[in-house]
Amino acid sequence: MTERKSVILSDAERRNLRRKLRETVEVAQDVLHPRNQMKILVGKGKAEAERVGEAVSKLARKNAPVIGAIGLGAILFAARRPISNWISKRRQGRSTTQDGE
């Protein structure tokens, strides 16, 4: 091979490598751009939120009777005073009607 062909081939290889380097730099700049970094971060956050939401709903379905019992207990605890007052009024109403007869 002549020296001229060697120089032409090496110049073509250099141009090809330079083109590849430019493309790689452009891709890296695009990936590292703050806008794209935020998109990636938001996407990861959404995926994590979906995963956690699925896990919570699966756990809730699995433990629905326990959650229902706890909820019922909380409602009864919150309403204990009105229930007690209602029962007392019912008892007093009976005792006054029986005493009057």
- pLDDT tens-digit map of 63-101: 888 888 998 999 988 888 888 888 888 888 766 555 554
Mean pLDDT confidence for 51-59 = 89
Asked if 12 and 6 touch (Cβ cutoff 8 Å), the reply is no
DSSP 38-60: HHHHHHHHHHHHHHHHHHHHHHH
In the chain, where are the structural domains located? 1-62, 65-101
DSSP 79: T
Phi and psi torsions of 19, nearest 5°: -60, -45
What is the number of other CB atoms lying within 10 angstroms of the CB of residue 93?
10
Say what the pLDDT of residue 98 is.
56
Mean pLDDT confidence for 35-60 = 90
Output the pTM of the full model.
0.41
Which residue has tokens 């709903």? 57
- SS3 for 64? helix
